Structure 1
Amino acid sequence: MSTSGILTLAADAADAGYDLSHTPSDGILVALGFLMILTFMTLIMTGRMTPLLALILVPTVFGLIGGAGLGLGDMVIDAVKDMAPTAALLMFAIMYFGIMIDVGLFDPLIRVITRVLGNDPAKIVFGTAVLAGAVSLDGDGSTTFIITTSAMLPLYLRLGMNPVILTCVAGLINGTVNILPWGGPTVRAAAALGLDPSEVFVPMIPSLIAGVVVCLVFAWMMGLAERRRLGTVGIDAPVAVPATGAGSGTGTVTGTDTGAVTGAVADGSEHTSMADTMLDPDRDTLRPKLIWFNLVLTALVMVLLVIDIFPLAYVFMVGAAVALVVNFPRVKDQAHEMTAHSSSIVAVAGMVFAAATLVGVLNGTGMVDAMAEWVTTVIPDSLGGYLAPITGLLSMPFTFFMSNDAFYFGVLPVLAESASHYGIAPVEMAQASITGQPVHMQSPLVPAILLLVSLANVGLGEHHRKVLWRAVVVSLVMLAVSILIGVVPFHAG
């Protein structure tokens, strides 16, 4: 394919004001970028390093090799500044929903779900997928994962089910539904190519339905496997998991089959405070007389999130403050309630800021730009007519390893320009590009997925081992369906 020559992107990084030690060629930057990501993924998926440490140390090493020099700190701090609103959002969202869980707002929902699903692991996993898919319609992954985890995780713990199944199912279906016009990627793709979001999305509805069906099939299969693993212990003799959250003492896991709780307790010790508070119906933090106030407050918060007239972080900040003042009038109780959720808050906020190291190095050294430019130059002219499906395939790894903004505003326009020479319309390229979202949602650069694994007390590497191949399958099915129905051309020219 004939394209313009590769730009000297490292020089652009120097022009940005960073004090670089040297400027490697673009080819070296491409190699370093891919090697850095490969090293990071290998370390966390093999369990040799925690994601937080890997997000800090691996980019630091590769950044120095890539010429970051004394500018490395500025690169990271600039990324931290960009991520600060996201960290604030997640921090106060965890606090708000933690308070609502403690005061018992979701207890009636848990009782209803328990009556409907019973103690059957297969039904519970399938119900998790349905709930996560329904809540995902609001377009916000963080809200989806908070609500899904708060509603379903207690059932997983009580039956000794593996919480990584919850994160896999929730992450999978949320990534699939994420192509809704208000979800983000579709709007980005449309904006990058000067299209209307509905023009991109509406023809992709059959692909979306197919992706959701595949997610539900995966959920049912994992549920059946969990039912077989637990046997009669998981169904007829639930494992007792006393609460360890606010207002209750630390408990231990008991049951007739201790093996059934493998994976349900991180480090074999304690659970996430958000989940466990719901397992004690007699906890001191219950506020049954305020349930209608808390319901109205939560509904108001959700409405404000949807209409988007205030920054999301500010909405949760005010919501958490009001919830604390009304439900816990005494200062001592307010402090205790905030402390009760500090472990979850520190874990997810720390992960977000650690991810700033990876983002800062990718952007500051010019690696991400070099990688984006490189991919548009390695596709030979003979494959130009296949650029639409190629874009769909590329969207999986590229949106996993870089932000949606970097892919849709950096890579997609170049690919679309090249595709236009072969008669492929921009809207067809945009539609192909959004099929990789089930894979994108599992990226460590997506704050919502860090929130999910943190709340469920699941390791990111453990989550990736179970979810990534399934996410690839869902993306491939969505791409295949879009080609079969003629939305995305298999070949043009």
Structure 2
Amino acid sequence: MIGVFMFLIMTRRLSALLALILVPLVFALIAGFHAELGKMMMDGVKLLAPTGVMLTFAILYFCVMTDAGLFDPFIRLIVRIVKGDPLKVLVGTAILGICVALDGDGATTYLICTAALLPLYRRLGIRLQYMATVLLLSIGVMNMLPWGGPTARAASAMKVDVGELFMYLMPVMLCGLAWVVLVSALFGLRERRRLGIVSLDLSDEMAQRCAVGDARYLFNAVLTLALLAMLILGTLPMATLFMIAFALAMLVNFPHLKQQKEIIARHADNVLAIVSLIFAAGIFTGILSGTGMVDAMSNSLVNSLPASAGPWLGVITALISMPFTFFMTNDAFYFGVLPILAQTAASYGITPMQMAIASLIGQPVHLLSPLVASTYLLVGILDLDYGLNQRASLKWAVGTVFAMLAGAIVFGAVPLAQALGG
């Protein structure tokens, strides 16, 4: 099922929206799950419904902030620094993505970075696919922060302290981040050769929007900072925080009913394209889990490993974490597959801490999974084809994994001595 899905979207024979609905539906019918099909699909949709609501209002909120001019001073600062040089723009994209991703949330990172950088990319003519790939790589590494999700899952599954796990992860993540900056520089050099260094001035486009010091601008800045702080602290569910922030932003910046209708209508296409993909992904997720496909993949993996693979289980876990977190949810991998692998690895002297580290190294590839909602947001904002984005970004994401795996081996976070007889 997964192979057919990937083939159809990467060769552009079906859109991601249609493939997410029709491919799992056909395979579930072939497998004989006629009676349970409706419940499986609705379970998947319900699972992703909060994400769909959150993204709806998050997109609208940041669109309102962009229309109101909140990011204009930041864009002007970037323009002064980069001076129309695509190399500086792309390296700056990586650095900005890494900094914003400190909150561990991909959707927020994509919204903030695209809002700040998209006018610059369009004016310079830089390929938007490069922005998408660099941001995906950035969040792929930064998602390993303790509050990002996967690290907490790995720590819980292996019963190790999450703080101690993060201390071992830090040098591994630094290797991954170095690779991200290197890739962004490579992209930048390509675009510099193609475009040259462009004279740039965005002041005319921003002249009509509120300036720093205006009461409205100060309100927008305070509201956005408060929103980000509450998102990080988990004061309220993300969906409700964005709903409240959007309502306040509209009331202050566009108080007239006609203006509000125009703003929503202007951005409705973008919202619908992304949110429809989220709910379609719910169908895919529901059938993948409900039919038992996830459990079957897990059992097949464990049963197929030969006894001679035991000493290599640290490295093997790091490598298989790429396809397995791509094809299944993080919960299924960390709570279903990892404990079984760790139990076998323990007899070869590989510790739970080492297995937890190894299991996290495949996270950059996980970000390209059809089960990750935030990736639909990114390609939707940049108006990129989902399948082409996967094809363009996958090799660089795999490169990030190998950079982190090399660092983990060098720093001793993932054992190799047992496998080599040391």
TM category (shorter chain) comes to over 0.9
The equivalent position to 2:48 in structure 1, one of 83, 88, 106, is: 83
2:83·2:200 contact (CA, 8 Å) conserved in 1? no
Distance 1:476 1:342, change over 3 A: same
Distance 1:279 1:358, change over 3 A: farther
1:301·1:315 contact (CA, 8 Å) conserved in 2? yes
Report what 2:205 is aligned to.
280
Report what 1:69 is aligned to.
34
Deviates more, 1:292-301 or 1:324-333: 324-333
Measure, in 1, the Cα distance between the counterparts of 2:42 and 2:105.
26
Measure, in 2, the Cα distance between the counterparts of 1:370 and 1:126.
42
Structure 2 counterpart of 1:64, which letter? Answer: L
Query: Deviation per CA, 1:242-280, whole angstroms, max 9, x where unpaired?
Result: xxxxxxxxxxxxxxxxxxxxxxxxxxxxxxxxxxxx983
SS state at 1:423 partner: coil
The equivalent position to 1:150 in structure 2, one of 115, 129, 133, is: 115
Query: Deviation per CA, 1:18-76, whole angstroms, max 9, x where unpaired?
Result: xxxxxxxxxxxxxxxxxx11111111111221111111111111111122213212111
Report what 1:337 is aligned to.
263
Quote the offset at 1:306 in angstroms. Answer: 0.7
Report what 1:372 is aligned to.
298
1:476 aligns with 2:405: no
Structure 2 counterpart of 1:212, which letter? Answer: L
Report what 1:303 is aligned to.
229
Structure 1 counterpart of 2:264, which letter? Answer: M
Structure 2 counterpart of 1:334, which letter? Answer: Q
| Count of paired positions | 418
Structure 2 counterpart of 1:401, which letter? Answer: F
1:314 aligns with 2:240: yes
The equivalent position to 1:450 in structure 2, one of 355, 376, 384, is: 376
2:133·2:393 contact (CA, 8 Å) conserved in 1? yes
**Taking structure 2 as the reference length, what is the TM-score of the superposition?**
0.95
Query: Deviation per CA, 1:147-190, whole angstroms, max 9, x where unpaired?
Result: 11111111111111110100000001110111111111100001
Quote the offset at 1:284 in angstroms. Answer: 7.3
2:91·2:188 contact (CA, 8 Å) conserved in 1? yes
Quote the offset at 1:239 in angstroms. Answer: 11
Report what 2:157 is aligned to.
192
1:236 aligns with 2:171: no
Quote the offset at 1:286 in angstroms. Answer: 8.6
Measure, in 2, the Cα distance between the counterparts of 1:176 and 1:328.
38
Quote the offset at 1:281 in angstroms. Answer: 2.3
The equivalent position to 1:465 in structure 2, one of 391, 394, 399, is: 391
SS state at 2:163 partner: helix
SS state at 2:14 partner: coil
Structure 2 counterpart of 1:134, which letter? Answer: C
Quote the offset at 1:122 in angstroms. Answer: 1.0
Measure, in 1, the Cα distance between the counterparts of 2:43 and 2:308.
41
Structure 1 counterpart of 2:129, which letter? Answer: V
SS state at 1:70 partner: coil
Measure, in 2, the Cα distance between the counterparts of 1:361 and 1:286.
50
The equivalent position to 2:87 in structure 1, one of 104, 110, 122, is: 122
Query: Deviation per CA, 1:442-466, whole angstroms, max 9, x where unpaired?
Result: 2121111111111111111221122
Measure, in 2, the Cα distance between the counterparts of 1:489 and 1:100.
48
Q: How does 1:38-49 map to 2 (within 5 A)?
A: 38-49=3-14
1:157·1:239 contact (CA, 8 Å) conserved in 2? no
1:67·1:365 contact (CA, 8 Å) conserved in 2? no
Quote the offset at 1:427 in angstroms. Answer: 1.0
SS state at 2:305 partner: coil
Measure, in 2, the Cα distance between the counterparts of 1:441 and 1:286.
37
More helix as a share of residues = 2
Report what 1:422 is aligned to.
348
Measure, in 1, the Cα distance between the counterparts of 2:176 and 2:159.
26
Quote the offset at 1:347 in angstroms. Answer: 1.1
Structure 2 counterpart of 1:129, which letter? Answer: A
2:9·2:386 contact (CA, 8 Å) conserved in 1? yes
Structure 2 counterpart of 1:456, which letter? Answer: L
Percent of aligned pairs with the same residue? 47
2:97·2:139 contact (CA, 8 Å) conserved in 1? yes
Report what 2:128 is aligned to.
163
Structure 1 counterpart of 2:244, which letter? Answer: V
Quote the offset at 1:435 in angstroms. Answer: 0.4
Q: Which runs of 5+ in 1 are unaligned?
A: 1-35, 241-277
1:103·1:286 contact (CA, 8 Å) conserved in 2? no
Structure 2 counterpart of 1:194, which letter? Answer: K
Distance 1:472 1:462, change over 3 A: same
1:99·1:324 contact (CA, 8 Å) conserved in 2? yes
Q: Which runs of 5+ in 2 are unaligned?
A: none
Structure 2 counterpart of 1:96, which letter? Answer: Y
SS state at 1:236 partner: coil
Structure 2 counterpart of 1:429, which letter? Answer: M
Measure, in 1, the Cα distance between the counterparts of 2:128 and 2:385.
10
**Taking structure 1 as the reference length, what is the TM-score of the superposition?**
0.82
SS state at 2:13 partner: coil
Q: CA RMSD in A?
A: 1.8
1:391·1:433 contact (CA, 8 Å) conserved in 2? yes
Quote the offset at 1:321 in angstroms. Answer: 0.7
Distance 1:74 1:302, change over 3 A: same
